[in-house]
Amino acid sequence: MKQFLFYSIIAISMASLSSCSKTDGAGNGQKPEDIFTVRTGTVALAPMTATFKANGTLEGIREANVNSETQGRILNVSVNNGSRVGQGSALVVVDNELKAIAVQQAEAQRLTAEAALEKAKIDLGRMQELIKSSVVTKSQIELAELQVKSADASLKAAQSGESLAKRQLSDAIVKSPFPGIVAVRYVNQGELLSPGTKVATIVDDSKMKLRIGVGELDVPLIKVGDKVKVSVDAMPGQEFAGVISTISSKADMARSYTVEVEIPNNDRLLKSGMFARAEIEREAARNVPSVPATAVINNGTRTQVFAVDDKGIAHLRGVKIGTTSTDRAEIVEGLNQGETVVTFGQPQLKDGSHVKIQQ
């Protein structure tokens, strides 16, 4: 019996010690595993600039599909994908032997027509001299005048035929319509071209163009000539300066207006087809209460933050956000200046969680 009482007393003492060891250092009964370590920031005044952001895809300032205007077999291909070309540079050369012969024939017909017109004019001049001596009649003069007109018409037809033949000979060399880069070449040497066959796509990348959609509430706040900050995912950390060049006067079905932004591309770093982000300043910077952007939680239709009180308890609060930047968000409603908010560790928290602030 004495041994039983002895072991009972030891068991009760150990249970009591175990219970005490699970309390925190302050003796408030909070379990250490229920205290979450977080990082925090404060609600503070900071300069914020109201901006409008939109995404789009870059295009060359001019892009064109170059099509063949003639028929024939390709003798030579002068470019590859990525080749730089000037305005009028040859892209492909088509067999032009028959076209060159047609030009020679047209030139001969034009020379013959010129000679015929000259003879008709000489004949008319002689008859006009003879009419004074009544050697020729008025009807003969009229006939000579008609022959001059007919010869003149024949010359014009021959000149048109010569121009057409020369144009067809010129079309045997398919040329670039403007300076740029060959984005895609569609044909190869030896292929048979037909009128309308796509030969290449040329992109003028001296400037780039970005089309974005702007809603009806934002479009009155921007104008042609406004500066635009442009960034591309392919070159993180780099920023390009653009300018609004056009604003459409008609909205689409989503009540969005198409805005075009021009971006100089002197170094040719930007490529057609790159995904780009545009940021347009809508008003001057002003000091407003704001929090680090990482403090804001977007929960469906609600925007919330965890505010930490002086007892280390996190309270989930609904807030209204105004202007945002890459690192801060304006607080319009829901927080007071100087309050502490959680900026890292929110997923592990719920309303009323105890937190420990990481220094």
Q: For 200-215, how does the pLDDT look when each residue is reduced to its tens digit (9 = 90+)? A: 999 999 999 999 998 8
Domains contained in the chain, CATH given: 32-48+286-357 (2.40.420.20), 52-61+206-281 (2.40.30.170), 96-170 (1.10.287.470)
Strand-pair category, 173-175 with 90-94: antiparallel
pLDDT tens for residues 309-348? 999 999 999 999 887 777 889 899 999 999 999 999 999 9
> Which residues, 6+ apart, have CB-to-CB distance to 127 below 8 Å?
136, 140, 141, 144
pLDDT computed for residue 304 by the predictor = 95
Distance of CA 225 to the CA centre of its chain: 17
**With a threshold of 0.85, does the pTM exceed it?**
no
> Which residues, 6+ apart, have CB-to-CB distance to 291 below 8 Å?
41, 42, 43, 44, 305, 328, 329, 331, 335, 341, 343
pLDDT computed for residue 221 by the predictor = 82
pLDDT tens for residues 203-250? 999 999 999 998 887 888 889 999 999 999 999 989 999 999 999 999
pLDDT at 187 over 80: yes
- If one counts every other C-beta atom within 10 angstroms of the C-beta of residue 301, the result is 5
Strand-pair category, 198-215 with 180-185: antiparallel
Lowest mean pLDDT among 96-110, 278-292, 293-307: 278-292
